[in-house]
A and B are shown apart, each in its own frame.
Chain A
Amino acid sequence: MTSITLTAVAGYRRTARRRLGLVALGLSVLILAFFMDLSVGPGPATMRQVVGALFDSSGIDARLRLVVFDLRLPIALMAVLVGAMLGLAGAAMQTILNNPLADPFTLGVSAAASVGASLAIAFGWVLLPVGGTLAVTMNAFVFALMASLALFGLTKLRGVSAETMVLVGIALLFTCNALLALIQYRSNETQLQQIVFWMMGSLGRASFEKIGICVVALGIALPWMLARGWALTSLRLGDERAESMGVKVDRLRLEILALVSLLAAISVAFVGAIGFVGLVGPHIARLVIGEDQRFFLPVSAVMSAIILSLASTLSKAVTPGIIYPIGMITSLIGVPFFISLILSIRSRGA
């Protein structure tokens, strides 16, 4: 028995070590993707100059400082942070809804944010007295949060099952899409163009204040979710099994929904609707690391951050001097990638 025991325990530990290795590898790739993102973009600066400026900013000229610290760094950091937030939110959503197709946008949070932004752009209707470009962001955030609260309240009222959450979320999504169509119908040509551009998603609106808010949101959500790691993993075995292990399933769902809403509302408000990242990142993580949530959640965040960083690089590198909306790029490269992923799973299963 002793030799068998040690062998199996060693097997588990080997798997755990391999996973930690994969986390480290993912982080290394992310750092590489981050520097690649920094090396392209507005202004003349090579990778070497950018890295040099980052590590020693004292002796650099004002132009390079402007390019690195004001133009490129906010975009590159925002790509990493928003990617991580969407990946984490998508992974948590897929776990609590027991649905691999769930992501933060499934439940209408993104559509609500778009309604808020469109109202500010088209008619200047803002819910909080904030002026300038911040009004659009703030309105998007408030609407996303309101949608989350409505989802939260209606779900609590009706019973917190995965099915209820999805149904209420889909109802919200359709309502918001209808409102969005109505706003677009009533807008003039310029307003319509602005709305469409906002909805395509762009990292160009990044700033260090927004980056700070993202860091705080991620700093709250990730440790919180990790602390529920065992409980979330037990949810994958079915509600009844999780309950028999002492997990308060309803409370856990609502708690995680609140965190997911916060992550989704902030990211959509800051960069617009960036699809697929919150869906694909967790899928890759699940393939390489399994669904032990202690590993699955952080790796999902890292994978999505890598994807968004690479998409950000691509959005600037395709046509020098032009930054394509990143939401467009993620969907364009995301869809074929996603289909090949599904096919590879199918063929492996066969």
Chain B
Amino acid sequence: MSLTIDDLNFAYGPHPVLHRLAAGPLERGALTALVGPNGSGKSTLFRCFSGAARPLGGRILLDSQDLAVLKDRERSRRVFHLAQDLSARAALTVFEVVLLARKSLTGGMDLRAGLCDLRLVQTVLGSLDLDGLSQRHIGTLSGGQRQLVGIAQALVREPDVLLLDEPTSALDVRRQLEVLQIVQRVTRERSMITIVALHDLSLAARFADRLLVLKDGCIAEEGDPEEVLQTQATSDAYRVGIHLERSSRGSLLVEPYLSSLRAAE
């Protein structure tokens, strides 16, 4: 029961974005952090997972089944991609937005919302500490609260594969830790395969079971976070030096530095 990326190629017109990308197998119940500099292809890889971008070659295998052969609805049921932004212009409440994510699973022809769905929505909202906001319009929320609503949308669909694109980008420090802790917990409890695109290497090292480093559309390094962060390939991908240290609490602290500055010191 795993996810494997096999020789994936993708280009926007003449511009190649993913080049013979291969990774995995990523196991169920494990949280993988996808890191890499801007423009390395993280969001495009996620779009290939969700079917929004069609790869020119290669396969993504979920439990040995090629995602490309799945029907669209089945694919969206099994794989949920939480894109970076949630439009704040809609006159919809938090509860409605999360219920919508649940109801769209079934094709949406049934206009009623059953008690089971309503209870599931509220349980998820409660687990993210959002139940107090359930009747608020999403336009009145802070950016961080909207991120949490997006995560609630993902969780309420109970997918096999959860792809989160920068889920902590608009959150304060406490919320960042809380959200990743929740994602880590539900990944284990529900045996999901979760991939989180992150820029913060310390958060990636702290919460991920596995690290994928992307550079120019290829996997530069893959494996245990502590080992991967010490490799030259990771430093090369970011064009920085990386200093690792364990805190007194046992967490891995990652200090990136510009190589020229460190040499001057």
Query: Which residues of A does B touch, CB under 8 Å?
Result: 1, 4-5, 8-9, 11-13, 15-16, 98, 226-231, 233-234, 236-238, 240-241, 243-248, 286, 290-292, 294
Contact = CB atoms under 8 A, between A and B. Distances in A.
Contacts, number: 114
Interface string B49-63: 010100000000000
A240 B52 contact: yes
Nearest to B82: A244
Contacts of A227: 108-109, 111
13 contacts: A5-B122, A11-B95, A11-B134, A227-B108, A228-B108, A230-B103, A230-B104, A240-B83, A241-B86, A243-B50, A244-B52, A246-B72, A290-B93
Contacts of B72: 246, 248
Contacts of B90: 236-237, 291
A245 B159 CA distance: 11
A72 to B, nearest CB: 36
B104 A247 contact: yes
Nearest to A248: B72
Nearest to A227: B109
Contacts of B89: 98, 236
B119 interface: yes
Nearest to B79: A244
B85 interface: yes
B105 interface: yes
B100 A230 contact: yes
Given A226-B111, A244-B83, A12 B95 contact: yes
Given A244-B81, A246-B73, A291 B104 contact: no
A5 B108 contact: no
A8 B96 CA distance: 12
Contacts of B96: 12, 233, 290, 292
Nearest to B117: A9
Contact of B86 (A226, A228, A237, A243): A237
Given A8-B134, A246-B105, A15 B93 contact: yes
Given A4-B122, A8-B134, A11-B134, A236 B92 contact: yes
Contacts of A247: 104
A4 B118 CA distance: 12
Contact of B87 (A5, A16, A236, A286): A236
A162 B108 CA distance: 22
Nearest to A245: B104
Contacts of B85: 238, 240
Contact of B122 (A9, A15, A244, A291): A9
Given A233-B100, A290-B137, 17 more contacts: A1-B123, A8-B131, A9-B115, A9-B119, A12-B95, A12-B135, A230-B100, A230-B103, A231-B104, A237-B92, A238-B83, A245-B153, A246-B75, A246-B105, A248-B72, A291-B91, A292-B92
